[in-house]
Amino acid sequence: MQHFIRLLREKGELIEISEYVNPELEITDIVDRISKSNTNKALLFTNNGTSFPLLINAFGTEQRMAYALHANSLREVEENIQNLFHLLNPPKTFKDKGLLILKLAQIGSYLPKIIHRKGKCQEVVHLNPDLNILPILKCWPHDGGKFITLPLVHTKDAINGKRNVGMYRMQVFSNKTTGMHWHIHKTGALHFEEYQQQGKKIPLAVCFGGDPVYTYCATAPLPEGIDEYILAGLLRKKKVKLVKCLTQDIEVPEDADIVIEGYIDPNEPLATEGPFGDHTGFYSLMGLYPIFHVTAITHKKDAVYPATIVGIPPQEDYGFIKASERIFLQFLKNTLLPEIIDMQMPAFGVAHNLVITQIKPRFPKHAAKVAHALWGIGQMMLNKILIIINESIDSTEKVFQKIMALETWADRIQLSYGPLDVLEHSGLKPTEGGKLFFDAVFDSTTSFVEATQTDNIAITYQPTYTKLLKYGIVIFFVEPEFDIFTHPVLNELKQINRKEIRVFLVDKNLEGLDWSYIAWHFMANFDPAIDFKIIDDKILIFNGNIKINKQRQTPNPTIVDKETIDIIDKKWSSLLKLPFIKSPSLMLQKLSYGDGFLASLNKNESKG
């Protein structure tokens, strides 16, 4: 990690803060200001109440993520992956065969290797471990406590011994215990079930730092059973050397900065974990998860503690999303779906809420074939809204402009129902809900809205964004209790002489915010299974308004409290040699309903 820090410093991508900053809430507000500004840099907090410097927002741009992956750009990473697939082409000459053998031998040298000695990660050993030596963050005001946010959690399959490295948040319960928040869809949860069936404790190791490529690989949506350190070796063109832990039968990278060793007893009762301000931009609710027991902490002498915050986008996690988008696009194009040209996961879609895919269609409804294939591949099963188009998707705004101009949408929308992310709160049931596929493929016969059509629609409940009216798009900013089906405006909409009217319902407090915030909030609160309706074959209603007091609990968005904002405002000039940046929470705090992590129209009920 020290090498990466030096690189960031040399490239002008690092801000170092030597004045004391509290890891409880204060670091979050500083990072949130920086990551949402034009001065988006990595931050190194060297004075945080512990002996470990804290590095955060290190992966927060495409450029810094490229550096972490040992490249100058994500395009270079993409090309390197593409070149690996070219090796699958049959060699044409003896020379080609010879070159192929050499190349395959080189790739073989990138595979992980266990070495039988102590690693750099074991220079300092704590056999009476205390998690309080680490600068663990409390990120958001209503979090259930302090959370480890950038851990590389190592587990082994109980049956075949295959290693898995995943990233699961860890709430600190005591100086020797944490929660282990692995979702039901993740490999760590599968390993937990295997050990539970055998009645055995699970050995675990949680690493931090080392080569930054490790951190990315722990988040990569690899197929089940593929070792993350194979991908790491391919990306950095060098094998990952692993050493055995001191108190657990499991291996870790010898150059990791910090290692927490421990175990989970599957027979122990689960513990209540959360709430936690998550990457959806909303608090994830409390749930029952396993308890991780710490048996040792080891680290380098000059170890750095990496961390991240997640919340209302954009945040640091977008760098991880972008890297996966570019890397796994190549896997899709060169294996299962050669018709795919490009893929985009906009920041406001928080990875799983929106995916836009460009294809080269060869036959009618080709896009539908791709949609169903994508929903069946790995973590794409958690996607909620999927748009497939046959034009360039370099600009998300241009994609939406093209879609808006289509004369009809109803015949292009397909609904489905399936697994969704554990953090999804829009549906009636956890981990499942509706999915929407929009077929935006068009040809010479496609009808578009006439540019000369009026953009005045005569309705008394006047919408905003009147420029969209010419496309038949009506956006209403409404109260949480608003019911369009009983409101007089529905009859007025029925009288409009157009083929289609597209009605979007969004929270009243979004009015005046940037469209990316509106899109983020809308998609987070939209379940296609219950929030999309067609009335009289012409009125399409998309209800992305927040739903309070419904069957499921509705969380509030992640907002920094005013007390913390005031503290950072006062410290700003001494902390950073930068022009003052307002906390984004000041303009977003109006999106909260009540004073707690649960949204409520009754303040006395909001604390959850």
Cα dihedral across residues 417, 418, 421, 423: positive or negative? positive
Quick one: tokens of 132?
């309080």
Backbone angles phi, psi at 109, to 5 degrees: -75, -10
Task: Return the closest-CA partner of residue 306 out of 133, 149, 124, 147.
Answer: 149
Whether 71 and 237 have beta carbons less than 8 Å apart is answered as: no
The better pLDDT of the pair 446, 279 is held by 279
Within the chain, what is the greatest distance between any pair of CA atoms?
A: 78
Average pLDDT over residues 425-444: 93
Catalytic one of 278, 317, 421, 507:
278
Residue 603 has pLDDT above 60, yes or no: no
pLDDT digits (tens, 9 = 90+) for 190-206: 999 999 999 999 999 99
* Contact (Cβ atoms closer than 8 angstroms) between residue 34 and residue 43: yes
Q: Check pLDDT > 60 for residue 522.
A: yes
Quick one: what percent of the chain has pLDDT higher than 90?
Answer: 79
Q: How confident is the model at residue 443 (pLDDT cuts 50, 70, 90)?
A: confident
pLDDT-derived band at 208, boundaries 50, 70, 90? very high
C-beta neighbour count of 457 within 10 angstroms: 18
**Which of the following CATH numbers is that of domain 2-307: 2.30.110.10, 3.30.70.100, 3.40.50.300, 2.60.40.1480?**
2.30.110.10
Q: Would residue 317 show up in a list of annotated catalytic residues for this protein?
A: no
Going by their DSSP bridges, the two strands 258-264 and 202-208 should be labelled as antiparallel
For the chain, give every domain's residue range: 2-307, 338-439
Nearest-CA neighbor of 596 among 349, 250, 286, 210?
286
The pLDDT tens digits for 551-587 are 778 999 999 999 999 999 999 999 998 999 999 999 9
Q: What is the mean pLDDT of residues 588-599?
A: 95
Tell me the mean pLDDT in the region 135-159: 97
Q: Please provide the DSSP assignment of 179-244 as one string.
A: E----TTSHHHHHHHHHHHHT-PEEEEEEE-SSHHHHHHHHS-PPTT--HHHHHHHHHTSPPEEEE
- Confidence label for 451 from pLDDT (cuts 50, 70 and 90): low
Side chain identity at residue 196, one-letter code: Q
Looking at the domain 338-439, which fold is it? UbiD C-terminal domain-like (3.40.1670)
Query: Is the pLDDT assigned to residue 260 strictly greater than 60?
Result: yes
**Whole-number percent of the chain with pLDDT over 70:** 93
Instruction: Identify the CA nearest to 409 among candidates 305, 537, 253.
Output: 537
Residue 261 pLDDT class (50, 70, 90 cuts): very high
Asked if residue 456 has pLDDT above 60, the reply is no
Residues 215-222, mean pLDDT to the nearest whole number = 94
pLDDT over threshold 90, residue 99: no
**303-340 pLDDT, tens digit each:** 999 999 999 999 999 999 999 999 999 999 998 999 99
Q: Tell me, what's the pLDDT at 281? A: 97
